Structure 1
C-alpha cells in the first residue's frame, strides 16, 4: 500500500489493451502508485480520471465491498464525471475496498475498476 495521504490527488489512468480497459494509478507529478491510500488524519481523497481510451469514460460512482465499516464517510462525483472525492473523517480504524463505476459513450454498459483500498491508521 502506498503512503499517499488524504488531500493529495491520485490520477486514474485508463488505457485500452486488446480492446479492454486497463487501470493504472499515478500521483499528479507522474509517479506510479497502486491507487491505495493510508490515512492518518481527516481529509479528502481525490481521484482524477485520465481517459486514454477514446470511449468517453466518466465516473458515476464508487461501489464499496464493505459500505458500513465507517472508513469512508461520504463520496461526491464531479458534474463532469472527471473527479471522485472521498471524505474520510478518520474516525474508524480499518481498511475498506472499493471499485470505481464508470460509464462510456460507446454503449450503456458500466465499467468497473480493479479494487484499490483506503486504510485508516491511528496517528
Structure 2
C-alpha cells in the first residue's frame, strides 16, 4: 500500500469495458495505485479527482463508508461540479477504513459505485 503525505491528489480513472465501468487509481504523475489503497502518515486532506473516460457524464455525489464511526476519515466534501472529493484525515486514529465513491451519470438515473479502496492510518510516532 503506497504511503501518502498531506495534500495528496489521487486520480480516479473510470473506463468502460464491455459497457461496464472499470475503476483504476493513479497519482497525478501516472503512477498506479493498486486497488486505490493508500497509507497516511500525517494529518491532511486527500483529494480524489475524477477522470471520466466513459462518455457517460459521471460525477461524484458522495462517499459511502462501511465503518463510518471508526475515526479514520473525519469529513468529506464534494466539489460543486462533482469532479473532486476531498477527505479530511486528522490521523488521530490508527487503523483502516474502506469506502466506495458514489457517482451519478447522464445516461440514466442510476448511481454508480466504485470498488472499495482503503485508507490506512499508521499510529502516531
RMSD over equivalenced CA pairs, Å: 0.8
Q: For the residues of structure 1 that align with 2:63 and 2:8, how far apart are their CA atoms?
A: 18
- What count of residue pairs does the alignment treat as equivalent? 123
Residue 86 of structure 1 aligns to a residue whose secondary structure is: strand
Q: How does 1:1-123 map to 2 (within 5 A)?
A: 1-34=1-34, 35-122=36-123, 123=125
Structure 2: stretches of 5+ with no match in the other structure: none
Per the normalisation by structure 2, the TM-score is 0.95
In terms of mean alpha carbon deviation, does 17-26 or 27-36 score higher?
27-36
Q: For the residues of structure 2 that align with 1:6 and 1:36, how far apart are their CA atoms?
A: 15
Per the normalisation by structure 1, the TM-score is 0.97
Q: For the residues of structure 2 that align with 1:28 and 1:43, how far apart are their CA atoms?
A: 17
Provide runs of 4+ in structure 1 moved above 3 Å: none
